[in-house]
Amino acid sequence: MLNYISRRLVLLLIVVLGVTIMTFVSMNLAPGDPAEMIAMARYGLENLTAEEVEHIRISEGLDAPVWIQYTHWLAHALRGDFGRSLVTGDPVLQEIIVRAPATLMLALASLIVSLLIAIPAGIISAAKQNSLLDYLARSGALLGASMPNFWLALLLILLFSVTLGWLPVFGYGELRHIILPAVTLGTGLAAVSTRLIRSSMLEVLEQDYITTARAKGLREGNIISRHAFKNAFIPVITVIGLQLGHLLEGTVIVESIFGWPGLGKLLVDSIFARDYALIQACVLLFAVFFVLINLLVDILYVYLDPRIRYEKKG
Amino acid sequence: MALLSIRNLTTIFNCEEGQLKACSNVSLDINPGQTLGIIGETGCGKSVLGMSVLRLLPANAVINGQIMYKNQDLLTLPDKEMCKVRGSEIGFLPQSPSTSLNPVLSIGEQLTEGLQLHRGMIKEKARIIALDILRSLGLKDSARTSAEYPHQLSGGMKQRVLAAISISGQPSLLIADEPTKGLDAVNRIQVVDLLRQLSRKTRASLLLITHDLKVAAALCDEIAVMYSGEIVEKGPAEQVLNNPLHPYTQGLVASLPERGLYPIPGHSPGLLDDSPGCRFYSRCPIGNEKCKCQPIINREVDGVHVRCLYIDQSGGAQQRIYGRGFQSEAG
């Protein structure tokens, strides 16, 4: 098991390295002169002169070839120095550390919302296959999966903030602030998980061991919760892990809409400002999260499925 | 007084292709302590018969007729009551040990839940009894087995665990569905021993569903031969196997390796086919137009019921169709 985890950690390093290279290259391919953008951000549009732009280009090392810029960045990053924001001049690491809890909180809340919806909906949908409830759950899932986040966010704001006035449009700090963004992200996730749990449950309910359980005289509720769900949930966990990765992606949009001061919003702002150091660090962090979550899922697997536990020992 | 008395049981599956009649007009009796074997080829409806008694068929199955168990009709029992019958009155031994145990629950968990449910035991008591049952079925290191998961056990051990589960509710009737399916000769003998052990230990009646004539010969008091959803011959095991009357039973016996391995030509009609006459007609060497068109009535010859027009009252088919009969040396 330890062996397995360390192998996965090596893999993590390779993935992360790849991600940093990709980000660096794509940033340089993006249109717009970063030196000009930074100068604009620092001095304002009206005070912008060609000399200042050139000055920034040289002082920030933007005139060097891409690969030199990259190795320079990497050498510093390996020592834990992610540089300073090109715009504000603050250390990048500090900025990210301040922002990360907001995003993690939002991601976690969204995951909880999605599981609170998907687990009961998926189970009922499978247990009462082809019933009215099943059709409702399935069409709900279809709707949820096909509705873009930003649109759902606007609809929710319209209903709960503008019309009903129950929840704030945006903000951060209190429980009521997190509800709308978490519901926005959570319902999208729930749509996929519901369908997945349903099909996984249906497959498990066909298995011989379910017949054995029924022949013991167990009640249907007990069979579903004890015998079927645990088996059905194992494949679902993998997908939830992948979803968490996409959740980070979703936060980029949702945080912008709800003014949520997390990494997603930070990333969007830094992309618009061509704040290379900040973009690079944000993307790096997202990549690390993504790989770590999937590692965590694999470890979780071992605890849920006794068959894996013993294979790994050998 | 029969423990289980099945009358005119007809099980139909509603499929896209039409109505599939897996059991038609089946009537059987099992007395307390008796072993009744249902034999027949794959797809003849014998497993469906067993599952009909337990009411564990998929939702598209319609069961008609009467299944009287201890003077109550199982088919009219509310679901909740039927749950109480399963496991505690009627135990079930499934056919494939490798897939019939839940892979993510330990053996102990799977064995104690029946004890807790039917015998009202607290967890600790159930655990002790579970270990006893496992030990009594030859799983010596029962504490270890109970903590293990199905994938850690051999096929034979899984079968023993399933047997332990099937008798844990102290049922009066056990239904064993193809317990020797896919097993080699050595394992088959072990399963036969296991089933003998079970019926000795529990004194329960056994409904043994099998395509294995030798297993049936070794264990059964009575045998019913099933063909394409119908019982074509039933009677005392020795008589049915040694002196088969129905052409199909004769064919089955003649197809045994030591009887010369003579296969029955042709295929059984699909269960969708609903012609009125004898269902074996198309493969029967002595069949004629009469068999094809008219419903066949059971005849009784020396305590054996046969569904064939050409059985004469003096005892025996008009002609011996497939060589010699089945001698009991195979038991």
Strand, helix or coil for residue B122: coil
Residue B147 with chain A: CB contacts under 8 Å: none
Mean pLDDT of the A74-91 span: 83
Q: Is B206 helix (H, G, I), strand (E, B) or coil?
A: strand
CA distances from A8 to A299, A313, B168, B184 (A): 11, 16, 45, 43
For residue B111, give the amino acid letter. L
Closest-CA residue of A relative to B57 is A211
What angle, 0 to 180 degrees and rounded to 10, lies between the N-to-C axes of helices B155-167 and B107-118?
A: 10
pLDDT of residue B328: 38
Distance CA(B148)–CA(B297), nearest Å, equals 53
Q: What is the pLDDT of residues A94-104, one digit of tens each?
A: 888 888 888 88
CA distance A209 to chain B (A): 4
CB contact under 8 A, B54 and A215: yes
* B116-137 per-position pLDDT tens digit: 988 888 999 999 999 999 998 8
Encoded tokens for B230: 């119908």
B163 C-beta neighbours (distance < 10 Å), count: 27
8 Å CB contact of B117 and A218:
yes
Nearest to A209 among B99, B152, B169 (CB): B99
Q: Is B24 exposed, middle or buried (0-12, 13-18, 19+ CB in 10 A)?
A: buried
B299-301/B304-306 β-pairing: antiparallel
DSSP B76: G
Residue A118 has pLDDT above 90, yes or no: yes
B104: nearest CB among A219, A231, A310: A231
> What single-letter amino acid sits at A59?
S
**% of chain B exceeding 70 in pLDDT:** 94
Return the number of other C-beta atoms located less than 10 Å from residue A257's C-beta: 20
Query: Has residue A32 got a pLDDT over 80?
Result: no
| Statement: residue B315 has pLDDT above 60 | no
Distance from CA of B94 to the nearest CA of A (A): 7
* Cβ pair B14, B62 in contact under 8 A: yes
Residue A247 and residue A189 in contact, taking contact as beta carbons nearer than 8 Å: yes
Q: What is the pLDDT of residue A309?
A: 64
pLDDT per position as a tens digit, B150-186: 999 998 899 999 999 999 999 999 999 998 887 788 8
> Which pLDDT tens digit goes with each residue over A174-219?
778 888 889 999 998 899 899 999 999 999 999 999 999 999 999 9
Per residue, the 3-state secondary structure of B41-63, as one string, reads CCCCCHHHHHHHHHCCCCCCEEE
User: Which candidate, A215, A218, A213, places its Cα nearest to that of B173?
Assistant: A215
- Interchain CB distance below 8 Å, A208 and B114: no
Distance from CA of A212 to the nearest CA of B (A): 6
- Asked if residue B226 has pLDDT above 50, the reply is yes
Task: For chain A, give the DSSP string.
Answer: -HHHHHHHHHHHHHHHHHHHHHHHHHHHHSSS-HHHHHHHHHH-STT--HHHHHHHHHHTTTTS-HHHHHHHHHHHHHTT---B-TTT-SBHHHHHHHHHHHHHHHHHHHHHHHHHHHHHHHHHHHHTTTSHHHHHHHHHHHHHHHS-HHHHHHHHIIIIIIIS--S-SS--SSHHHHHHHHHHHHHHHHHHHHHHHHHHHHHHHTSHHHHHHHHTT--HHHIIIIIIHHHHHHHHHHHHHHHHHHHHHHHHHHHHHHT--SHHHHHHHHHHTT-HHHHHHHHHHHHHHHHHHHHHHHHHHHHH-HHHHHHHH-
Nearest CA in chain B to A212: B100
pLDDT computed for residue B311 by the predictor: 74
Tell me what pLDDT residue B329 has: 37
User: What is the token pair recorded at B89?
Assistant: 């009155």
What pLDDT, on the 0 to 100 scale, is given for residue B107?
95
Please report the pLDDT score of residue B316 as a whole number: 47
The alpha-carbon gap from B114 to the nearest alpha carbon of chain A, in Å, equals 6
What is the average pLDDT value for chain A, to the nearest integer? 85
- Residue in chain B closest to A303 (alpha carbons) equals B104
3-class DSSP assignment, residue B126: helix
pLDDT at B319 over 70: no
B324 has a pLDDT exceeding 60: no
Q: Which helix (H) or strand (E) holds B82?
A: helix B79-88
Whole-Å CA distances, B83 to A207, B65, B194: 19, 20, 26
Whether pLDDT at A227 is above 90: yes
- Using CA atoms, how far apart are residues B202 and B167, in angstroms rounded to an integer? 7
Nearest-angstrom CA–CA distance, A125 and A129: 6
By DSSP bridging, strand B61-69 and strand B4-15 are antiparallel
Over range A295-312, report the average pLDDT: 76
What is the rounded end-to-end Cα distance, in angstroms, of chain A? 10
Would you say how long chain B is, in residues?
331
Q: Residue B143: pLDDT above 60?
A: yes
Whether B263 shows a pLDDT value over 90: the answer reads no
Hunting for tokens 């629950």 — which residue is that? B105
Q: What is the ipTM of this complex?
A: 0.87
Task: Considering only the beta carbons, identify the residue of B86, B96, B104 that sits closest to A216.
Answer: B86
Residues B252, B236: Cα–Cα separation, whole Å: 17
- Is the pLDDT at A37 greater than 80? The verdict is no
Q: Kindly state the tokens that stand for A126.
A: 């499978």
Of A214, A304, A305, the CB nearest to B56: A214
Would you state the pLDDT for residue B64?
Answer: 94
Per CB-CB distance under 8 Å, the chain B contacts of A209 are 99-103
Return the percent helix, strand and coil in chain B, to nearest 5: 35, 25, 40
Rounded to whole angstroms, how far apart are CA atoms A25 and A280?
Answer: 11
Quickly count: other Cβ atoms within 10 Å of residue B41's Cβ: 17
Q: Which residues contact A13 (CB under 8 A, 6 or more apart)?
A: none
Mean pLDDT of chain B: 87
The closest of A140, A139, A144 to A155, measured between CA atoms, is A144
Residues across chain A: 314
DSSP three-state, residue B66:
strand
Closest Cβ opposite residue B103 in set A213, A214, A307: A307
pLDDT recorded at residue B321: 54
Scanning A202-261 for CB atoms below 8 A from B yields: 207-209, 211-219, 226-227, 230-231, 234
**Per-residue pLDDT tens over the stretch A131-149:** 899 999 999 888 888 888 8
Q: Name every residue whose Cβ is closer than 8 Å to that of residue A243 and which is 6 or more positions away in sequence.
A: A111, A114, A189, A192, A193
Q: How many CB atoms lie within 10 A of CB B285?
A: 12
Give residue-wise pLDDT tens across range B31-86.
999 999 999 988 888 999 999 999 999 889 999 999 999 989 999 999 999 999 99
Nearest-neighbour CA in chain B from A244: distance (Å): 25
Amino acid (1-letter code) at residue B83? C
DSSP state of B283: G
A220: left (phi over 0), alpha (psi -120 to 50) or beta: alpha
**Is residue A173 over pLDDT 60?**
yes
B72-73 vs B61-69, strand pairing mode: antiparallel
CB contact under 8 A, A226 and B99: no
Q: By the 8 A CB rule, do B92 and A215 touch?
A: yes
Q: Which residues from A are below 8 Å from B152, CB to CB?
A: 310
| Closest CA–CA distance from residue A207 to any residue of chain B (Å) | 8
User: How confident is the model at residue B180, as a pLDDT?
Assistant: 86
Cβ contact, residue pair B152, A231, below 8 Å:
no
User: How far apart are alpha carbons A149 and A187 in whole angstroms?
Assistant: 9
pTM as predicted: 0.81
Band of pLDDT at residue B326, cut at 50, 70 and 90: very low
pLDDT band for position B322 (50/70/90)? Answer: low
Name the 3-class secondary structure at B2.
Answer: coil
- pLDDT value of residue B31: 94
Residue of B nearest to A306 (CA): B104
